A and B are shown apart, each in its own frame.
Chain A
Amino acid sequence: MIKKGILLLLLVGFVAIIGSLLINFTGSNELNPLARYYAENGPAEVGAANLVTAVVVTYRGFDTLGEVTILFIAAAIVGFFLKVMNADNGRPNKLRKTSEILETASTLLVPTIFMLGVYIFVNGHLTPGGGFQGGAVIATGVMMIILAQPTSRFNHKLISVLESVSGVGFVAMGILGLILASGFLNNAFLPLGKLGSLLSAGAIPIIYVFIGIKVGSELTGILDSLKENQNEI
C-alpha cells in the first residue's frame, strides 16, 4: 500500500516535469539554420533526391556506423545466449500440419516480398526507403518461409558470412571515400548523375545495398536462433 503510494507520487512528479515542458512548446514557422543548409545545398553536393537519405548516409554517416555496430552486437549476443541452451537433449516435437492456404500463398508471395525488399533499398535515394526498411522486409519474407515449412533448415554459415562481408564492405566504402574524395563516407568519388535518375548520388546506392544485405541477414539470424529448438527451452 505504501509502495503503491510512493510509486504514484513518483509518477505525478514525472508528469509535472513533463507538463511544464509541454506548456511552453510552440511550433516553428520556418527551418532552423542547420536544416536550411541541408535543404539548400543537399541536392547539389550529395545528389540524392531524398533529403533524409542524404543526411543519414553522408552528412551524419558516423551515426549510421554506430547503429550498424549496435545491431551487430545485439544479434551476436542473442545468438550466443540461445545457442548455449542447445546443449540439452532434444525431444522430438509433434508439429501441426500447416494449412493449405498458407503453403499455396507462400509460394506465390515470397518471391514478391523479396523483390519488394530489394526494390526498397535500391531506390533508397529517390523515394522513401533505404537499407534498414528493405532489410526488415526481407527478414519478413524469410519468416514466411519458416511459417509455411517448419522443417526447413537454414545454412548458418551462409548467413554469418553474408553479414560479415557486407559489414566489411560498408566500412571499405567509407575508407574509399577517405582516400579518393575528401572525407570518410563521402560519396563524391563516383559521378553524381542527374538528380532523380537511378544511377545518381555517387556511391549512395552501393552503400545502401551493403546496409540492406547486412540488416536482412542479421534479422534472419536472430529469427533463426529463436526458432532453432522450439521443442525445448
Chain B
Amino acid sequence: MAQYLTLEFLAMLIGFMLIVVGLWGMITQKNLIKIVIGFSLFDTGLNIVIVSMAYIKNSTAPIIDKAVDVSQAASKVADPVPQALVLTSIVIGLGVTALMLAYVLRMYREKKSLDINSYTDLKW
C-alpha cells in the first residue's frame, strides 16, 4: 500500500481519471460544443500521464544554474525527454481544437442546430 502513495502514482491516477471523464463526455453528450470540451479534457489528461512518467524521486527541474552544477547534473535532474514531447503535444492539441471548432461553425451554418442527432446525412 505504501508504494501507491508516491507523487508520480497520484499524478498518473489524476491523469487517467481525466481521460475517463473526457472520453465519457465525448461519447454521451449531444451538444457539439460539449463534445469538443470533452476532447480538450482528454488531451490535458494525456499530457499529465506522460509528464508523470518523467519524474525521478527527489529530483529538480532540468535547468543548470547555481542550484544544480554541471558535474552533478545527471543525478539530481528529472528526465527531459518526455517534457520535450509534452511541449509539442500541448501546442498540437490547441491546433486540433481550433480546427474542430471551425468545423462546428460550418456545421451550424448548414443546419442551424447544435444537436448531433440532427445530422443524419451519413446514417444508413
Contacts and interface: CB of A to CB of B under 8 A. Distances in A.
A127 B61 CA distance: 11
Contacts of B92: 67, 70-71
Given A7-B28, A52-B87, A74-B95, A32 B20 contact: no
Contacts of A74: 95-96, 98-99
B79 A32 contact: yes
Contacts of B95: 70-71, 74-75
Contact of A51 (B12, B64, B103): B64
A51 B62 contact: yes
Given A25-B9, A39-B77, A56-B87, A51 B96 contact: no
Interface stretch (A10-18, A113-121, A182-190): A10-18
Given A25-B12, A77-B102, A39 B62 contact: yes
A63 B9 CA distance: 28
Q: How large is the interface on B (under 10, 10 to 19, 20 to 34, 35 or more residues)?
A: 35 or more
Interface residues of A, number: 53
A100 interface: no
Query: What secondary structure prevails in chain A residues at the interface with B?
Result: helix
B109 interface: yes
Contacts of B79: 31-32, 35
A43 interface: yes
A102 B30 CA distance: 37
B81 interface: yes
B20 A27 contact: no
A63 B13 CA distance: 28
Contacts, number: 132
Contact of A43 (B56, B73, B75): B73
B91 interface: yes
B56 A22 contact: no
Nearest to B106: A81
Given A22-B16, A31-B77, A35-B81, 12 more contacts: A10-B27, A18-B16, A18-B20, A30-B56, A31-B79, A54-B80, A74-B96, A77-B102, A81-B103, A81-B106, A82-B102, A132-B87
Interface centre among B9, B20, B63, B83 (most CB of A within 10 A): B63
Given A36-B74, A128-B63, A15 B106 contact: no
A99 interface: no
Nearest to B91: A132
> Which 8 pairs across A and B sit closest by C-beta, in order of nearness?
A74-B95, A51-B62, A55-B84, A51-B80, A39-B74, A27-B8, A35-B79, A56-B84
